[in-house]
Amino acid sequence: MFSSRSRYLVFFQYFGTKYSGVMETSNDQSVVGVQNYLERAAQNLKPIVPIKFCISSRTDTGVHALCNSAHLDIQREPGKPAFQEKQLIHCLNKHLKSEPIRILKAHRVTDGFHARFSALSRTYVYRLLTGCAHPSEIPVFERDLCWAPPGHFNSLNVPAMQEAAQFLLGTHDFSTFRSLNSKTPFQPPVRTLLQADIQPSPGFLSHHYEHRKLEFWEVKFRSRSFLYRQVRRMVGALVAVGQGKLTPQDIKELLEIKDSQAFPSYAMAPPSGLFLKAVEY
Amino acid sequence: MFSSRSRYLVFFQYFGTKYSGVMETSNDQSVVGVQNYLERAAQNLKPIVPIKFCISSRTDTGVHALCNSAHLDIQREPGKPAFQEKQLIHCLNKHLKSEPIRILKAHRVTDGFHARFSALSRTYVYRLLTGCAHPSEIPVFERDLCWAPPGHFNSLNVPAMQEAAQFLLGTHDFSTFRSLNSKTPFQPPVRTLLQADIQPSPGFLSHHYEHRKLEFWEVKFRSRSFLYRQVRRMVGALVAVGQGKLTPQDIKELLEIKDSQAFPSYAMAPPSGLFLKAVEY
């Protein structure tokens, strides 16, 4: 009797502050990747070949996911049936225990399906908080889950940010808006931004904060794929526009320069406010 | 020159999961009280008499505060002026550093003011989550911040809970709805419940959870003061009504029994969903 292999697409959520990012790291580091925990939990499925998660969308240290995705192959002993989707979710979550990582959904897919290459688009949400004169004024329930841009500016010029975001929409060479690392120099820098919205957003229990003038905003971007740190650079540049440090026209000019070094070094947004919202197939 | 003493009322917020409760504990325990951190931070004000916080409202291990309050006296060296309110907030928050405790407001008050005895009422909010078949389905961003009542019931009969809550409103002997500890036997059990509401509530980023049927509810209670664990017992009993384990009439009968032992032992709600929302003066 042959042992058969089954491929699954799983969707999962995590609180990124605890992890070195989503991707696997060597297990001897003090802080490891979300993937390390996923694969450790998957060993409890007793596969005959170690299970690898092929993750659709990289996220950095401190970046969160409302929903990321990955595919994995499970090869069981001959004669054992393929796991049912609910069984798989339950077993993985049981072994993830108290880690702030949670499997949301699982779907059996064909062998040709690839979590990364089959994805049609990714949506990111970045949470901003205004009304804080100092980071210590961030509500304790929102720490690590938003960015309160520093400075004397307690509000942002949102219409200017919305005007600037229009320059980012569409197909561009985003070279200025990527960070370089050893893996990126040969990656093509042209991307198509399908959505760039800035909307007011609720905060956690903010309907109970009657005494404060805190305002939450969400910047949402959708694209087939993004360059390394592109979202954090785009958000940081839009915030600089909202603070009056850059003009909307400067965003257009930064795009046209096509040079990572031209990006104002002060402007990259921190990881704490960034959430991968969804991977669309 | 005389050294003068100034009294302040401060309002503060905390994420209760990390602490043994709000009240001071001996410093050699592995988990100590919020008050320990407040008093440690206050030593940086260099008072000539150690600063004690007189906390208005006790909260247990794992219970959160959107806003609790305390008064404190600061006696400075002769000739030094009293701290300004903003200075006090800034200095305390600076020394609380990364602790999830934050001073929200400070007001200079008269010597006769007492944070606990001058309070007119307290308001608590309890967050419930329905739609989870298992605690592992709680969104990772909501862990320790709500209660997903267990069982096969994925929803609660809210109209029945609202009907039951009406029996709790007003002045009653709440003996059945308190837990006993060494300090409580001589505390009068009559309290006047001014408000008992059950309302739908937003979850953290729940406008982005398109694939789930999660629903958040808030139970809100206001009274001049509460008995030991009264809110958690009242919420637990209302949830039992929502699940069909008790009827609204049972709540009325439990009140009339006036016996702590008569309370169904399964029904006390856990601390994770409980927030002290406000102390009113």
Nearest Cα residue in chain A from B103 = A137
Q: What is the mean pLDDT of residues A144-160?
A: 87
Test A66 with B145 for CB contact under 8 angstroms.
no
**Chain B residues whose beta carbon lies within 8 Å of the beta carbon of residue A201:** 207
pLDDT tens track for B183-234 = 767 789 999 999 999 999 999 998 887 656 889 999 999 999 999 999 999 9
The minimum CA-CA distance between B139 and chain A, rounded to whole Å, is 8
B8 among annotated binding-site residues: no
Which regions of chain B does DSSP assign to beta strands (E)?
A: 5-14, 53-55, 64-75, 101-109, 121-130, 170-173, 190-201, 215-223, 274-280
Residue B98 pLDDT = 86
Residue B213 pLDDT = 83
The minimum CA-CA distance between B118 and chain A, rounded to whole Å, is 20
Residue B135: pLDDT band by 50, 70, 90 thresholds? confident
Residue A220 pLDDT = 98
Residue A68 pLDDT = 98
pLDDT tens track for A8-53 = 999 999 999 999 999 999 988 899 999 999 999 999 999 999 999 9
Q: How far apart (Å, rounded) are the C-alpha atoms in residues A158 and A199?
A: 9
The minimum CA-CA distance between B181 and chain A, rounded to whole Å, is 30
Residue A176: pLDDT band by 50, 70, 90 thresholds? very high
pLDDT at B1 over 70: no
**Chain B residues whose beta carbon lies within 8 Å of the beta carbon of residue A281:** none
Distances (CA, A) of B96 to A158, A225, A254, B83: 33, 41, 40, 18
Burial of residue B273 (number of CB atoms within 10 Å: 0-12, 13-18, 19+): buried
Domains of chain B in start order, with CATH, are 5-109 (3.30.70.580), 121-280 (3.30.70.660)
Test A104 with B211 for CB contact under 8 angstroms.
yes
Test A145 with B141 for CB contact under 8 angstroms.
yes
Q: What is the mean pLDDT of residues B113-136?
A: 94
Residue A211: pLDDT band by 50, 70, 90 thresholds? low
Test A208 with B277 for CB contact under 8 angstroms.
yes
Residue B182 pLDDT = 73
B13 touches chain A (CB under 8 A): yes
Residue at A183: amino acid letter:
K
Residue B228 pLDDT = 94
Mean pLDDT of chain B: 94
**Please, which residues 58-77 of chain A have a Cβ atom closer than 8 Å to chain B?**
64, 66
A15 touches chain B (CB under 8 A): yes
pLDDT at A191 over 80: yes
